[in-house]
Every structure is written in structure tokens, then in C-alpha cells.
Amino acid sequence: MSVRGIRGAITVELNEEGPILDATIELLNGIGEVNHFEPEDIASVFITVTQDLDATFPARAIRQMAGWELVPLMCSLEVPVKGSLEKCIRLMVLVNTDASQKDIRHVYLNRAQALRPDLVVK
């Protein structure tokens, strides 16, 4: 069994608690659906947000999900590169899995699809 990193990103339109929490849940559920893991399989989740999202911690949404209460979570700010995608939440889910690297499916939603169009599943 290996630890694999699963990437994902989603954008929101408003810097408000509800949209940030809802988008975080949508993204994590999307990653879980295509990669078929349970919270018990997760080593940790690293979460970043762009500097324009400061209404809440996205980790709050994950901590409220059933089974995720004990998963280690860490929030941080994304590097503020000029001209980069705004209002973006990114996840790096570290999962214990027998899946090979090529079988891991990364998830990019909304305007975040522009970050890695090569990985967007249509």
C-alpha cells in the first residue's frame, strides 16, 4: 500500500462562509466519488485558499462531514502569484491506497478547470 496525493480545486463566486463551505464539500465529495476511498483511508488533507477567501476556514466543512472528524486537516494561503486564479480552494488529499499513480483521478471544478485542463474529466 502506498500514500498517494490526490489534487483538486474549485472556485467560488463570493467570499462568504456558505459558498466556501459548500464548495469544499462538493470538491471533497467529487474526489472521493472518482477515487473510491473512505475517510479511514486518508492520511491527511492539506487545504489552500487564495488570499481573497477569508470568510471562513474550509476545513470547518470537512470536520462536519460524517467520518472525517479525526482526519488531520491543515489550511494555508496559496502563493499570491499576480494574475493567478482568484477565489480558489485547493485540496491535496493524501490517501493510503493500492491504486497506482496513473489510476488516481484529480478533480477540478468551475473556473479551476483552467488550472489543469489536461486532467479535467469530461
Active-site residue flag, 4: no
Per the residue annotation, which of 60, 75, 105, 111 is the catalytic one?
Answer: 75
Catalytic residue (one of 33, 40, 63, 86): 63
Enumerate residues 6+ apart whose C-beta is below 8 A from 34. Answer: 105, 107, 121
Residue 75 falls in the annotated catalytic set = yes
Q: Which of 7, 60, 105, 111 is catalytic?
A: 7
Examine the residue annotation and report whether 38 is marked as an active-site residue of this protein.
no
Separation CA 69–CA 67 (nearest Å) = 6
| Sheet of 2-11, strands arranged across | 73-77, 42-49, 88-97, 2-11, 107-108
- Active-site residue, from 60, 78, 105, 111: 78
Based on the residue annotation, tell me whether 108 is a catalytic residue of this protein: yes
Catalytic residue among 4, 26, 88, 108: 108
- Indicate if 16 belongs to the active site: no
Report the catalytic residues. Answer: 7, 63, 75, 78, 90, 108, 116
